[in-house]
Structure 1
């Protein structure tokens, strides 16, 4: 995984600590955690200026995923539909529709929970990154994805200003892993 690869590339001993989204920012600022990877500024808006950001690890995009539902071509096709998303995550191109109740936001603790809701008919669609969709499609062949331009994002690491591992060292590791093809192998990027 990415954490293990960064540890190997930097020589930094890494301990993985699962945290809810709302605790990530404060833990980074306090220095209780050194860095978080597979994140971006839009997901940590309250602390984005208080932490350092690595170079982009790779680009990804969010897709709408359904179980064999009628194909959709625009957000208007989602009128009054229930869309499973991760609680406390921000989806720039969906927020207005959520706030106006044109699309019903169904918060779940994580994407796995949202997929279970989809599989049991409790939501009409879920939002998954293209990387997550590729993985889940292998497990659930009935899944269909639609790219409606929800958002494209560059995945990065957020680094505490108190981290013993510098952002420049992380950037060097990212560059080396890109050059060697290690990131492509980790994420099986097309």
Structure 2
């Protein structure tokens, strides 16, 4: 990626402290594998301190600490969106694009766990801008952990306790979205009035 297109470093912390914070919070972790034997990169959205960590720090951490351990192999990612707060955990569109541009081309699939309606609408609107058509096509929405285990080997794929608790609560929540694995969701989008503010950049959560 051209360095001139990178978003400015807006973190109040020095780069070294940002990198240590990312490591300590275990936002990114290689663990387990999918059903085809590809290693998994687990990403916990709730742990991401968007106000303290810059896109450049995330890129450097991934390039130095995560991607070399994949050794060029194809891999899948599990992004856990459970209890993400847009004010605390969303880095912004330009930062997301900057981070994604650092991801190697051997990323096979991104399993997006516990997507909300607003996050679906956000990605439907801005996903191709951020990830490009090919990258956006790799995103698969997974509404429940039981459906994730159909594609990911449960052994070795650890999830924080709050993710399991939220998943159990989902059993009792009425929903207008079909359970399962989805690569795109026009039916869900057209269920809502396209004029409402859910298309706003503020509605990632």
Q: Same fold (TM over 0.5)?
A: no
Pick 1 or 2: higher relative contact order, CA cutoff 8 A, min separation 6: 1
Look at both structures and tell me which one has the larger radius of gyration over its CA atoms: 1
Whichever structure has more strand as a proportion of its residues is 1
Q: TM-score with structure 2 length normalisation?
A: 0.27
